[in-house]
Amino acid sequence: MAAPADASGAQAIEFRCNLCGARNRVAPDRIGREIASCRRCGSTVRFRAIGRLVALELLGQEAALVDLAPGHRLCGLGLSDSRTYAAPLARLFDYENTYFHTAPRLDILDVPEKRRGRYDFLIASDVFEHVAPPVDRAFENALALLRRGGVLIFTVPFTLADDTLEHFPELHDWRLVEHSGRFELVNTTADGRAQRFTDVVFHGGPGTTLEMRVFSRAALLRHFTAAGFARMRIADEPCDAFGIAWPAPWSVPIVAYAS
């Protein structure tokens, strides 16, 4: 993946995007989880890693999605997937992307019966940190969506702490209130106590995706086990050819397997 140093003396990184096929040459600091580094499609390390894991886990191939032929008889489901990798997945598989707020709509806390047990793979990328508590139900429903032998390709930001930090552990009857451009969360607990939170965090802009928690890796593995997944693996392996690298051990993808 390394290329000759550029004019600044930095060792440039060369890779081919596995989502769109573009060849790229970027500075090392452009290879990051949330940094757009493909000149054509703007893919990040996270997006390319998801595409790589679909090909590897479902087809057993270390292959670029852009190189694969369509027609695979595999059924997949996305939870608010980025179009950057949703489009190539829709070309290759019987794949549907869904959303919490618009059609085609799917609430992972309230999965309809007709969707249960239908899917060979499910992608949940940076979604579960926004799910209202109790988050255990989301993990249980993720497993319920999968067929026997199905695969969950999963990412969230996580730490290496002992446990997850829940921002609103008693969330029950709540709303967001705006004051002079600043948001607060107002909650009434199940036993009637009033709560007000002023230090709230949004991903993607205020009023859209409220951060409910910061997971820990240990807690994630416990959630997968408690939900009934047969096994999990931390998918932190690099792939130089596709510009995928994980220099830190947190917030890397996890693959969970249905029995």
pLDDT over 90 percentage in the chain:
90
Q: What pLDDT is recorded for position 34?
A: 97
Residue 1's pLDDT band (cuts 50, 70, 90): low
> Could you report the per-residue pLDDT of 209-240, keeping only the tens digit for each?
899 999 999 999 999 999 999 999 999 999 99
Q: What pLDDT is recorded for position 58?
A: 97
User: Does pLDDT of 3 surpass 90?
Assistant: no
> Could you report the per-residue pLDDT of 51-68, keeping only the tens digit for each?
999 999 999 999 999 999
Q: What pLDDT is recorded for position 78?
A: 98
Average pLDDT of every residue of the chain: 94
CATH of the domain at 155: 3.40.50.150
What's the number of domains the chain is made of?
A: 2
Task: Count how many residues are written for the chain.
Answer: 259
pLDDT over 70 percentage in the chain:
95
User: Domain containing 197: what range?
Assistant: 168-203
> Could you report the per-residue pLDDT of 44-54, keeping only the tens digit for each?
999 999 999 99
Instruction: Identify the residue with better confidence: 106 or 101.
Output: 106
Q: Are residues 82 and 132 in the same domain?
A: yes
Q: Are residues 47 and 104 in the same domain?
A: yes
Q: Are residues 80 and 155 in the same domain?
A: yes
Q: Are residues 89 and 120 in the same domain?
A: yes
- Which whole number is the average pLDDT over 73-99? 97
Instruction: Identify the residue with better confidence: 28 or 8.
Output: 28
Q: Are residues 49 and 129 in the same domain?
A: yes
Q: Are residues 107 and 142 in the same domain?
A: yes
Q: What pLDDT is recorded for position 24?
A: 98
Q: Are residues 226 and 195 in the same domain?
A: no
Q: What pLDDT is recorded for position 49?
A: 98
Q: What pLDDT is recorded for position 6?
A: 53
Q: Are residues 126 and 236 in the same domain?
A: yes
Q: Are residues 39 and 144 in the same domain?
A: yes
Q: Are residues 139 and 233 in the same domain?
A: yes
Q: What pLDDT is recorded for position 204?
A: 78
Q: Are residues 186 and 154 in the same domain?
A: no
User: Does pLDDT of 79 surpass 80?
Assistant: yes
One-letter amino acid for residue 31 of the chain: I
Q: Are residues 180 and 241 in the same domain?
A: no
Residue 153's pLDDT band (cuts 50, 70, 90): very high
> Could you report the per-residue pLDDT of 233-254, keeping only the tens digit for each?
999 999 999 999 999 999 999 9
